[in-house]
Amino acid sequence: MVTRIAVCNRALVRIGEAPLQSEVADGAEAVLLLYDSAVETALGLGDFSFATAIRQLNRDAIKPKGRWLYRFQLPAESLEGPKAIFDREDAETPFTRWELFDDGIYTDAETIWAKVRIAPSPQLWTPLFTEGVVVYLASLLAGSMKENMDAAGTLYAQAMGDPRVPGDLGLIGRARARDTASQPAGRLMKTSASPLIAARF
């Protein structure tokens, strides 16, 4: 089973360090901070299917000031602003009559759903993405724990791609490409989804 501590230990062993016995062991806090940084960076490099979710948003009880009727809260698990908003549960056609402000979604729709980027459990990662995170984390640990910048640079190139090698995507880039290729083709946007498109008809 892939867990946070398992990923951290694979990265530690990669640079010749002893594995952690638990997440509360001596030195674990610093390693886990770098783990969080590595995962957030890796997930930010592409739209991974296992890190994307549709969530119904909670509506505030009090009407907001201004022109909108409702304010909805973004999910606490969301890593960033919404990738799309929908006013139907099937999330088929993006909804455009909304505004992001003050960490909330303002709209006149009574119920909405958001497509958001999340940090899923490592158990949901693909094997190639897992290996990419392990190697990228190892590069961070090589620099911070061993002060071995040569090893850090080599590991970074393996994870992220070597800019000196044309077309080298690195482990994480290859994981992104493979994940994208495995997904069904996206639906074509309906003309009603965009006022700019709809205005042409």
Instruction: State the Cα–Cα distance between residues 97 and 82, nearest whole angstrom.
Output: 14
Mean pLDDT to the nearest integer, 12-41: 95
Band of pLDDT at residue 185, cut at 50, 70 and 90: low
Range of the domain at 78: 52-118
Residues 30 and 129 in one domain: yes
The predicted-structure confidence for 52-79, as pLDDT tens digits, reads as follows: 999 999 999 999 999 999 999 999 999 8
Does some domain include residue 187?
A: no
Write 92-101 long-range contacts (CB < 8 A, 24+).
92/187, 93/189, 93/190, 93/192, 93/193, 94/189, 94/193, 94/194, 95/193, 96/193, 96/194, 96/195, 99/68
The predicted-structure confidence for 90-112, as pLDDT tens digits, reads as follows: 999 999 999 999 889 999 999 99
Residues 112 and 67 in one domain: yes
The amino acid occupying position 66 is: G
Nearest CA among 183, 182, 161, 181 for reference residue 171: 161
> Which tops the pLDDT comparison, 80 or 33?
33
Mean pLDDT to the nearest integer, 155-178: 94
